Structure 1
Amino acid sequence: MAVRRVVPNVRSQRPQEGRRFYGLLGFEEAMNLGWIVTLASTAVPTAQVSLMTGDATAPVVPDMSVEVDDVDEVYEAVRASGAEIVHPLQDEEWGVRRFFARDPDGRVVNVLSHR
């Protein structure tokens, strides 16, 4: 199993203002679903930050997102470890398969693969 990228998710009530601010740092909009705006570095596209007002299908805003090459394999490993699954493994309409788990410090991690 391999990690492809890690993205901090910042809870935001003003994502458009945040988009302008992070633009000053060299980020540009890579994805905008309304409730989440992902900004990527123009030089290193896997360097990203997401601004979230909420989550369309999950009960909480995750603290970070970790893209992996095989989300099903990671899900089984996390579940077998006894870690709390906050949001079940499922396919989302925007093209990812994902689940949320709580880390030992209580942070919620969105683990995903693109379909």
Structure 2
Amino acid sequence: MAVHRVMPIIQSDAAQENREFYGLLGFEEVMNHGWIMTLASPSSPTAQVSVMTGDRTAPVTPDMSVEVDDVDAAYAAVREGGAEIVHPLQDEEWGVRRFFVRDPNGRVVNVLSHR
């Protein structure tokens, strides 16, 4: 399994303020669904940060996202390893397949692959 990117998620209702602040550091908006906005570096597109008011289809807001090439293999590995699944593996309408898992520090990780 290969990791494509890792992205922190900031829970906030201040999307515009975050867009402006991270813009000062060179980030540009690359996605905005209203409840989640992703900012990326134009020179290094996998350098990203997301700002989320709350997750639209899950019971909790994740702390970070990890995009992998095979989310089904990742899901099997964390289940076999005994990790706590916080949100089950499912296909989302915005084109990702994902699940949430709790890491040893109590952080919620959104693990995903694009379909």
TM-score greater than 0.5 by the shorter chain: yes
Q: Please state whether the residue corresponding to 2:80 is helix, strand or coil.
A: helix
Query: Counterpart in 2 of 1:97?
Result: 97
Give 1:17 deviation, angstroms: 1.1
Q: What is the alpha-carbon distance in structure 2 between the residues aligned to residue 112 and residue 69 of structure 1?
A: 8
Q: 1:64 deviation in Å? A: 0.3
Structure 1 stretches (4+) deviating beyond 6 angstroms? none
TM-score (norm 2): 0.99
Does the residue aligned with 1:17 lie in a helix, a strand or coil?
A: helix
% identical aligned pairs: 77
The separation in 2 between residues aligned to 1:60 and 1:13, in whole angstroms, is 15
2:31 corresponds in structure 1 to 31
The equivalent of 2:51 in structure 1 is: 51
- Structure 2: give runs of 5+ residues left out of the alignment: none
The 1-side partners of 2:59 and 2:38 are apart by: 20
TM-superposed CA distance for 1:6, in Å, is 0.1
Q: CA RMSD for the aligned pairs?
A: 0.5
Quick one: which amino acid aligns to residue 68 of structure 1? V
| Cα separation, 2, equivalents of 1:83 and 1:17 | 35
Secondary structure at the aligned position of 1:106 is classed as: coil
Q: Distance in 2 between matches of 1:24 and 1:96?
A: 29
Q: CA deviation at 1:16?
A: 1.3
State the Cα distance separating 1:85 from its structure 2 match. 0.2
Q: TM-score if structure 1 supplies the norm length?
A: 0.99
Q: Counterpart in 1 of 2:114?
A: 114
Match of 1:57, SS state, is: coil
